[in-house]
Amino acid sequence: MTELDIKCQHACKNTCATLNEALRRETAMVRYYESTLDECNIPEVNSFISGLVEDKRKVILSLIQKLNEIHVRSQTLDGIASSFNNIDG
């Protein structure tokens, strides 16, 4: 899949398909980098790749935080909407 194949679905509820795909790709990249660390015996390259892994982990954490924010916001809005639909109260 190329970058141009990604299209926002615009119908996400409680999550974001685009951010989930980014999370999947970043996680795969970390796994790839980690596998190269096992094979690399040049300290300079090993250190560089370790830095890339750390950077990617920060990106992954940021994506997870944003997905959690979206989920909480959606749940809050659902709660507000359902309180208006409650005819008993």
pLDDT tens, N- to C-terminus, the chain (89 residues): 555 566 666 666 667 888 999 999 999 999 999 999 988 889 999 999 999 999 999 999 999 999 999 888 777 666 666 677 666 65
Residue 66 is predicted with a pLDDT of: 93
The answer to whether the beta carbons of residues 55 and 68 sit under 8 Å apart is: no
Integer Cα distance of 50 and 80 in angstroms: 45
pTM of the model as a whole: 0.73
